[in-house]
Structure 1
Amino acid sequence: MTDRQVLYQHHPAEHENTQPWSKSALKPRAWHESDADRLSLNSPDWRFRLSPTVIPVDFTAVDYDDSKWDKLVVPSHWVLNGHGKPIYTNLEYPFVVDPPRVPTENPTGDYRYSFIKPQWSGAGRTIIRFDGVESWFKLWLNEVEIGWSSGSRLPVEFDITDHLSENNIICVRVIQWSAGSYLEDQDQWWLPGIFRDVTVLHRPNNCADDHFVHASYDYTTGKGTLKVDCEGEFTRVTVPELNIDMHAGDSITLDVEPWSAEVPRLYRGTLATDGEHIPLNIGFRTVEIRDGNFRVNGAVILFNGVNRHEFHCERGRAVDKETMLQDVLTIKRNNFNAVRTSHYPPSSHFLDLCDEYGLWVVDEGDYETHGFGFVDWRKNPSDSPAWTDALINRTQRMVERDKNHPSIVLWSLGNEAYRGFNIGLMANCVRSRDSSRPVHYENDWTGEHSDIWTHMYTWPEEIERIGKREETFDGYGYQKREVSLLTEADRVRLEKSRREKPFIAIEYGHSMGNGPGGLLEYQQIFEKYPRLQGGFIWEFIDHGLKQTTADGKTFYAYGGDFGEPRGTHGGNFVCDGLLFPDRTPSPALLDVKAVFQPVVFTLDDKKLLIRNKYDLRDLSHLRFSWRLEKYGEVVEQGELDVPKVKARHTVTVDLPSTLTTARGDSKAGWWWTVTATLDGATWAPDGHEVAWAQYPLPHSENTSNKAVLTSLKIGNDTVSVGPATFDSTFGKLLTFGSIGVEDSHLDLWRAPTDNDIGGPITPDWPEVSAPNRDKWYTAGLDRIQNRVDSVEKVGESLVVKYTDGAAIYDRCLRTTMTYEARDEGRSLHVGVSIIPENDWSDLQLPRLGIRLTLDTKSLERVKWFGLGPGEAYPDLRSSVRMGAWEKSIDEWQTPYVMPQENGNRMDVQYADIVDDQGQGVRIEGDPHFNLTVRRWTSEQLTAAKRVTELEPSDKTIINIDYANSGIGSASCGPGVADKYRTVLKAGEAMRFGFVLRTLG
């Protein structure tokens, strides 16, 4: 017999077991801040030690010497404070998928903190509350083990009454990887630590252990019904404004004003027991699904929503109250009405703000197992009895904590955790506790367990079919397999049930880098079909972590920047928000605001139609004004007298008499703008613009100014055409006025956007087509060669003919550039004719136009008349309007976390690019053009991975474009719609022109 001695064997430690998920934790309850005493343990003076793996517990003795330990602020993440490194994954687990086991290399943070026993006012219990700890922790007090818990984004409380002394030492061990980590693969940074509040609470004798506010509203009678459940003999509910004074458990019906996201009417009340007084914020509203629609207070709701992770570029998920308020105000001010708390319950304070300021909330459970998709969903917790208790536990803790928030209108069980019987058990768990709100789960593609059918990144064409209840949806990727396993009877039953449900696009409009494009088309479809009830854009903010280079430059780190192994991280996929990491709005946020604006203006002959898109409120909170501008200068302005416009109704208003007469000139510089602004400060200052529209006034073309050409001059080696000189051999533009020209050529290339690059091919999306960037590289658009075919004097014009094409292929562009001097030699007219040869039809061009590289860095500012002030692309232009604008060249750039195409301005009629003395170049459209101005080339922009890698050159690079393709949302979702693509047809000529004029 072999003598075997086991020296080490990996086995599930207590923090890896799937059961129990906590020890000694108190029953979850509704969170409130009462008049009972409390002591915050938030402090920068916690002692902290990080170990690379789980080591024996050696630090819980009261007299343990922790003087050599570091100090760490609580709440925070240790990896953002110099201890270890953060890890980003999109889908993948950063460890072997062997549930419930976790790696031996398991960062373990030990915390110690001392506090003096609180002097509570009265007898009672003392409990300690942790609002968020990632991912598993154990607690000791004065050497006594109190308990443990998992569920990173959920609170847990422990009774410590019997273990308090005058001077107390609290010890906490936090382990990064636990069995709970398998439930928290949520497309975000893995950030261990105690990252939410730690509080010691006095629970007086005869306090309210829990309470449940039921406040419904009958929209047919205008009456609300209030009942507050609370255990205890001596409990009263008072609401002074409503003259309510009743026992808890009693019910009362009376006239009230309802709560909604549009008018967040809250009544302040109190739940009083012998031990404490709990403030109540009561919002009367009724949520229901009726006649195939999701309704609040009887009205069909259209969600103009956004997905929001909790994130701060320096503090991770340790988000302070001031930042939460900033987020809520930003959401409201940009015409969102809803937020989904992806993919876990947020801080309770954020929900308080949603109640106060008015947002529909989808409260989502702390659950996602996306990484199991890489192993064909084997052992996925959604379909495993070993994980049932954990999932029920997380669901209960969410519902119990958040049940009293009127802003929450929909419970979400989690995200992207595939299917299984546990989903049904979780749904039943919610309904058994709270039947007043529907239940949602996106991966319930058949609609078996969810009250609402939802999907993500659905193509607009499919959404329209869903709107008509004509969808042929059978899933994609692994979903098709699931559908194929259904019996015919089940398939028919579930399809019938699904088609009776309302539809919400729970994620769409992936806001990664420059984009998303095409949001207007989505919104138009949502508004067309009653079944479609809007959606939630992905997502609110880029999750870049603020870093500094050795020379002091700031950048924002993403996946791979902290040494994550190749193939296990999601790169810059973590930067996919409408706000940059420092909470600066991206151009797309302004586009969303315009697409979601709740008032629509339509000009109809001599009338203005004003449509109210609010679901529940009229427009009495808004002022309406107009202004008439000529080339950006206000000529006249005034107020509009608008009658009361009820929700989802339209009124007609007479136009000011000034506007009924046609005005204008050949440049069509007259524009009329109408705006709706807040009449009084609420969630934004008085005068905040909520909606606008702009219309050109009718104009007649002025053709009396015929172009008068100036003679060109031929020298020994050069040709002078007005203010420009050319090389006479190759037709190269050498100078313009006093400025040297380094280069001028036909340009097809742009630095690929994240949406041009496309998203990762994953188990969810195995059939993703090749992204634009790959097609462009294959076609050689980044290596176009230019051949000069001829240089000729034709009359008083210089005509240069080129052939542009990529090596390997025979398709090319026959380009003719015609240069003419006008205005007595003060300007240069450039005519461009492009004839594609051979087949280009399978290729969307990035751009098509002329690139000028001026040999000067003295030009600093751009003044233009056209769309602005921000960037615009064919499918991303709802927020820009015609006007006279000015920016520095530095301000012209959009600093996307990963550098890419940016800064295009559309419909530019003229632009002055000048130095501080007003000297430089004017570009005039014939009639208009697209414009970008940079200090670096598109090739340099393509090569850069960080904004810190972009070094301004001593050149000024200008793109004067005939066309620039749309953006789309192909980083996760549909690409560019056909109507926004720049596609060439063989033999079909394209012609455009512009004028260059010297200034100063």
Structure 2
Amino acid sequence: MNKMKTISLLLTLGVTFGAKAAEWENPRAFAEGRMAPRATFYPYSSVNEALDANVWQSSRVTCLNGRWAFCYSPNPKSRPADFYKTDYNVSRWDSIDVPSNWEFQGYGIPIYTNTTYVFPVNPPYVPHDDNPVGSYKRTFTLDSATVNNSRTFLHFDGSTAGMYVWVNGKKVGYVQSQKNPAEFDITDFVKPGGNELACEVYRWTDGSYLEDQDFWRLSGIDRNVYLYNTDKRGRIADFFVKADLDGRYRNGLFNVDVKLDSSEPLTLSATLYDAGGRKVYSTDRKVGANETVSFKSTLTKVNKWNYDSPYLYRLVLDLRDASGKTVEATSTNVGFRKVEIKNSQLHVNGIPLEVHGVNMQEHHPDNGHTIDEETMIKDIRTMKQHNINAVRTSHYPQPPLWYDLCDRYGLLLVDEANIEAHGLGVYDISDEAKKTHPGHAEMWRDAVLDREISLVERDKNHPSVIIWSLGNETSNGKNFIDSYHWIKKRDNTRPVQFEQAGEGENTDIVCPMYPPYEWIADYGKREGVTRPYIMCEFAHAMGNSTGNFQDLFDLIRTYPTLQGGFIWDWVDQGFRMKDENGREYWSYGGDYGATGYTHDENFCINGLVNPDRKPHPGLSEVKKVYQDIRFSSDNPISGEVTVENLFPSLSTEPYEFFWELLCDGNVVTEGRFELKVAARSSKTIRLPLPPIDKGADYTLDIYACAKKGDEIIPTGHEVAREQFILAQKDLGATSLAEAKAKIIHDCDNWTAEAAGASMTFDALSGELTAYTIDGKNLLSGAMMPSFWRAPTDNDFGNNLHVKSNAWRTAAQNRRLVSFARDGNSLKAVYRLQEVPSDYTVVYTPLDDGSLSVAVAWKADDGAFTPELPRFGMIITMPRSFNDFAWYGRGPQENYSDRKTSAFLGRYSGKVADMRWNYIRPQETGNHTDVREASLTDATGYGIKVLGLQPLEVSALDILPSALDPGLIKHQQHSNDISPSLRDVYLYVDLAQRGLGGDNSWWALPYEQYRLVGKEYSYSFVIKPIKP
């Protein structure tokens, strides 16, 4: 502990007296007048108050949130320099909410950039002409008793970049690091009655070089501000709770170190209550002035904390005077758990952990970086309902309340320091660059270490925090090595990770970002490794993404050292906006007229949920892959199913199991059962299935659902699912009517007639142009080949839109070589102009009025043909045909590499609801393994498509061309897309390219999900439907 005090003192001395330049351009000036970092806790007047833990009701705490007087200045030169003085008149100033970002209060411009600094790079200097300053002022009142008998502290949970603070016209201090708390002792600055608080906030400081994260650049005091008062005789300055487990993971090893700031002898008691309010430990200790006290005890058979059973005890510290009266009380939640690395794996409570993680930025759709409790709980609820068990606080500490909620509801946290200097270089830093680089340069050492210390000291008592992270995408150097060793000496209960350390000395976990599949496999196969492999970022969820997620976890579950990772990322960082017509859309980089600033467009839109937390279709896949209850069977047709419970603590007793047997998508029989499977074990049951007809499709669907709901998981909520394919019909052997329809030719058309249906083919184009039943034409346009899809963000990233550009217009520009009768069929042969190949469609009218369609494509021998985005046809129908039904995978959109969560079944809906409104418009609405699909109108007329092999089908109210910006991405949004008022489009494909998702800048979908062959063919049947 003495070494810790020495480091803190050196930091304080360095930043207080070492600065000659302006503080906001001096890396050594970052904490002038600031108190030493400490854990988050609040003072109360009694034990009962501390147990209630209602901070805003505490008589010792005064909330300063609310409306403050505010003046916005575009640069330091134009700021009101003397505003902090008590006689400065601010009556004509505007007012602003605190906490808030001033860009969302009508001042300045939000700027989004990923890795590039907004300002010219010249560390530690920042712009003077373009560096907005916010001047804040408010008053508060203290009574005489408080001023005379108490010490008064001013606390900021966070503020942007750099902030000067004055009380009653006197300078209190200066702080940097927008995501760390700052606390000042203002006892000598306050007076009885009215007091004035003034804050001057800078948008850019030298500290901004440490805050080059992939997020919006926003400004202002955007976290809570409050005062608290403590008795002058003494206060609890800090404490560190270590609630560990013994080697058998049964008994609790309870240790708490309490640091006192007192002027006289007092008595300190420590009492631990269980969740029912019963005392399980209590002790008193007489303490001298400014003493640090340690309490230790072993508690038998404690209830353990984990993400599936977040059991919390409550610790109350009570500091009393000689008469037994409380001088100060405080409290914190305590969770007993052990985090360790053994056998090359990360263990929690002795059990290897599979990390089902997400990265999470601090983001609100209307308020920027100011997050309310309701939004936090909504995030936790949605995460838990989708089997997410861990969050990396990318790339900075979240607000203190977040950690309390994660303790309460059970989320594991990788807590990350507010450090990223991406724009100064990450890899292969030259010796010259190292002289000014935060990872290496001595001038940044104290600032880097201070951010690490602030992180650890603030969050050290939270059981949800299981790993410390040194920061993100900043070149690894001596400053991070020193930080690692400081943390390891301060806290021996948690691992420390740093992606940039690779397999170097200053990381306990190998935590790469976006490694290729082969690299992951190579680490899993390696012998002699001592560290787990947990990806700090993977599965880049930008736009329509999250492909091959099941493939990744199949690999992860093959090798013990591979333990999962954190998806990038949780929430789309878009803000709610309205266009001139009142239509809402979500903004992204470049949308605010920030001319002259760099921006990275929609690269901030990579969430699993929308900004308002509406889940994306891809989140269903994540939920399925991440589930902790899993089902398997070597012989599912027998009804024998193994239920595996991978929860670390819970049995399956809280869940009820349901099963359905479906034949051709229709339920044949169903049942339910209860099965108690202990944590980390499995049991096999046999379901009473009837005989299976192998000439039909049979599936067995099993679900696990919550019996009893709570605040986070509602009653009946599905926590796990699986589908077993018991039998599949041979679609190629589908019985069809005879090909004896009447075929007539005139100079312009071919016509086929049968069973009251009429089909018209254009003799000059070879296209089906009309399909009539009872005099009603079911088509509104010609049936056309379909080779192109609106590029996804991943397609843009891997350059599909350029490499495969020839396919964009290949269908429109095809040349008809011949169109003639071929027996009972009509055969159209085309030459594709842009792609050296032949394309053939054979139409066979059938006796029952249906039409068989056989499509084939073959590239010329030796010719280069780019990868196909899709291979299929488009059927265009009148807008009135808006009822879509299909027998295939659903209900959510799915793709060849994102379909394990989408079960084979029968689904229906309106065409308008089939299109997911991605923030940047792109490919959407696909369904795989489709056996049949139909579009009908309100009167019951329509068409049905039957696949003679599984199809990929979608029904949309828009063409790919409307979603496709071309060779260059444009600032497109959902409100730029207008559905067709005339037509709907049924896409009938053999296949479509997978989505991919390993990253969004070069990674391709895996080979098995790409259309790179030199020939493809498929067949389907169109049947008219009438009432």
TM-score normalized with structure 2 length: 0.88
Residue of structure 2 aligned with 1:117, choices 125, 139, 142: 142
Aligned-partner SS, 2:720: strand
Distance in 2 separating the partners of 1:778 and 1:630: 42
| Matched residue type, 2:497 | H
For 2:907, which of 885, 894, 903 is the aligned residue? 885
User: Residue 290 of structure 2 aligns with which residue?
Assistant: none
User: Which aligned pairs between 1:339-378 and structure 2 lie closer than 5 A?
Assistant: 339-373=391-425, 377-378=433-434
From 644, 668, 681, give the equivalent of 1:611: 644
Stretches of structure 2 lacking an aligned partner (at least 5 in a row): 1-19, 45-57, 261-265, 285-292, 321-326
1:961 corresponds in structure 2 to: 989
SS in 2 for 1:273: strand
Q: Which residue in 2 is equivalent to 1:761?
A: none
SS of alignment partner, residue 82 of structure 1:
coil
Q: CA deviation at 1:265?
A: 1.2
The structure-2 alpha-carbon separation of the partners of 1:626 and 1:949, relative to structure 1 and needing over 3 Å to count, comes to same
Contact 1:723 1:828 in 2 (8 A): no
Cα displacement string for residues 613-656 of structure 1 (whole angstroms, at most 9, x for unaligned residues)? 33444323322221223454433221234242431x33211122
Structure 1 858/273 Cα, relative in aligned 2: closer, same or farther at 3 Å?
A: same
Percent identity (aligned): 34
1:911 maps to 2:922: no
Q: Does the C-alpha gap of structure 1 residues 173 and 846 become closer, same or farther in structure 2, counting only changes over 3 Å?
A: same
CA contact (8 A) 2:767 2:783 kept: yes
Choose which of 410, 417, 439 in structure 1 pairs with 2:496: 439
Which residue does the alignment assign to 2:1017?
990
Q: Does 2:877 correspond to 1:847? A: no
Q: CA-to-partner distance for each residue in 1:181-231, whole Å, 9 max, x for gaps? A: 000001111001010001111223422111111111125161101122113
Separation of aligned partners in 1, 2:985 and 2:231: 71
3-state secondary structure, aligned to 1:231: strand
Q: Determine if contact 2:413/2:467 at 8 Å carries over to the other structure.
A: yes
Alignment of 1:683-832 (within 5 A): 683-698=712-727, 705-714=735-744, 716=746, 717-721=748-752, 722-737=757-772, 738-758=777-797, 771-777=799-805, 785-806=813-834, 811-812=836-837, 814-825=838-849, 827-832=850-855
Distance of 2:983 and 2:722 partners within structure 1: 38
* 1:135 equivalenced with 2:161 (yes/no): yes
Partners of 1:288 and 1:437 within 8 A in 2 = yes
Gap regions ≥5 residues in structure 1: 1-10, 471-495, 759-769
CA contact (8 A) 1:925 1:995 kept: no
- Structure 1 CA distance, aligned partners of 2:862 and 2:358? 42
- Partner Cα distance (1:527, 1:853) in 2: 45
Q: Which residue of 1 aligns with 2:10?
A: none
8 Å Cα contact 1:50/1:83 also seen in 2: no
How far did residue 794 of structure 1 move? 2.4
Q: Quick check: 1:313 aligned with 2:365?
A: yes
1:541 corresponds in structure 2 to 571
1:71, CA displacement in angstroms?
Answer: 1.7
Residues of 2 paired with 1:393 and 1:291: CA distance?
33
Matches for 1:517-596 after TM superposition, within 5 Å: 517-565=547-595, 568-596=598-626
The superposition leaves residues 40-93 of structure 1 with CA deviations (integer Å, 9 ceiling, x where unpaired) of 111135434333444351212334222322221111101122111011111011
1:620 paired with 2:653, answer: yes
Amino acid at match of 1:132: G
Partners of 1:818 and 1:120 in 2: how far apart?
Answer: 94
When residues 532 and 120 of structure 1 are mapped into structure 2, their CA distance, relative to the original with a 3 A threshold, is: farther
Using the TM superposition, give the Cα deviation of residue 753 of structure 1 relative to its aligned residue in structure 2, in angstroms.
0.7
Alignment deviations for residues 7-49 of structure 1 (CA, whole Å, 9 cap, x no partner): xxxx952221112212111111110234252111111354343
Higher mean C-alpha deviation, range 35-44 or range 420-429: 35-44
- 2:312 aligned to 224, 244, 266, which one? 266
TM-score by length of 1: 0.90
**Corresponding position of 1:31:** 40
The one-letter code matched in structure 1 to 2:447 is A
**Matching of residues 226-241 of structure 1 within 5 Å:** 226-232=254-260, 233-240=266-273, 241=278
- Return the match for 2:487 from 406, 430, 446: 430
The one of 215, 224, 227 aligned to 1:197? 224
Tell me how far apart the structure 2 counterparts of residues 645 and 663 of structure 1 sit (CA, whole Å): 36
Counterparts of 1:635-654 in structure 2, within 5 Å, are: 635-647=668-680, 649-654=681-686
Q: Give yes or no for contact 2:786–2:811 (8 Å, CA) kept in 1.
A: no
How many angstroms apart in 1 are the aligned matches of 2:678 and 2:295?
39
Distance 1:701 1:777 in 2: 36
Which range is displaced more, 882-891 or 384-393? 882-891
- Following superposition, the deviation at residue 246 of structure 1 comes to 1.3
Distance 1:704 1:900 in 2: 35
> Equivalent residue of 1:288, what SS?
strand
Q: Answer with 159-168 or 571-580: which moved more.
A: 159-168
Question: Which of residues 848, 854, 858 in structure 2 aligns to 1:835?
Answer: 858
Q: Which residue of 2 aligns with 1:185?
A: 212
Range moving further from structure 2, 384-393 or 837-846: 837-846
- Partner residue in 1 for 2:14: none
Task: Please state whether the residue corresponding to 1:975 is helix, strand or coil.
Answer: coil
Shift of residue 665 of structure 1?
5.3
**What RMSD, in angstroms, separates the aligned Cα atoms of the two structures?**
2.3
Quickly say closer, same or farther: Cα 1:433–1:706, change in 2 above 3 A.
closer
Q: Give distance in 1, aligned partners of 2:394 and 2:536.
A: 10
Partner deviation per Cα, 1:111-161 (whole Å, 9 max, x = no partner): 111222268779321111111101101111221111110010000011122
Which letter maps to 1:238? T
- Structure 1: distance between partners of 2:583 and 2:896: 33
Give the Å deviation of 1:409: 0.7
Partner in structure 2 of residue 21 of structure 1: 30
Change (3 A) 1:832 1:99: same
Instruction: Give the conservation status (yes or no) of the 8 Å contact 2:653–2:674.
Output: no
Give the secondary structure class of the aligned counterpart of 2:97.
Answer: strand
Letter in 1 for 2:905: G
The more displaced of 921-930 and 145-154 is 921-930
Q: Deviations over 1:902-940 (max 9, x none)?
A: 111111222222233333332222243111222221111
Cα deviation for residue 162 of structure 1 reads 2.4
Matched, 1:85 2:115: no
* Alignment correspondent of 1:870: 892
Contact (CA 8 Å) 1:88, 1:559: kept in 2 or not? yes
**What is the letter of the counterpart of residue 942 of structure 1?**
D
Q: Give how far 1:427 is off.
A: 0.8
In 2: Cα distance, 1:243 partner to 1:614 partner: 27
Aligned to 2:267, the other structure's residue is in SS state coil
Structure 1 stretch displaced more, 969-978 or 163-172: 969-978
The structural deviation recorded for 1:784 is: 5.8
Distance 1:52 1:777 in 2: 47
2:299 corresponds to: 254
Q: Is the CA contact (8 Å cut-off) linking 1:926 and 1:995 kept in structure 2?
A: no
Matched to 1:886, the amino acid is: S
2:131 match: 106
1:292 paired with 2:327, answer no
Change (3 A) 1:316 1:221: closer
Conserved in 1, the CA contact under 8 Å of 2:133 and 2:201?
yes
Distance 1:33 1:841 in 2: 69
From the superposition, tell whether residues 339 and 289 of structure 1 become closer, same or farther in structure 2 (CA, over 3 Å): same
Q: Is the CA contact 2:617–2:892 (under 8 Å) kept in the aligned structure 1?
A: yes
CA deviation vs aligned residue, 1:245-275 (integer Å, no higher than 9, x gap): 1136221112212111121111123121132
* Partner-residue secondary structure (3-state), 2:375: helix
CA contact (8 A) 1:287 1:297 kept: yes
- Structure 2 Cα separation of the partners of residues 352 and 685 of structure 1: 21
Is the 1:268–1:279 contact (alpha carbons within 8 Å) kept by the matching residues of 2? yes
Quick check: 2:72–2:132 contact (8 Å CA) kept in 1?
A: no
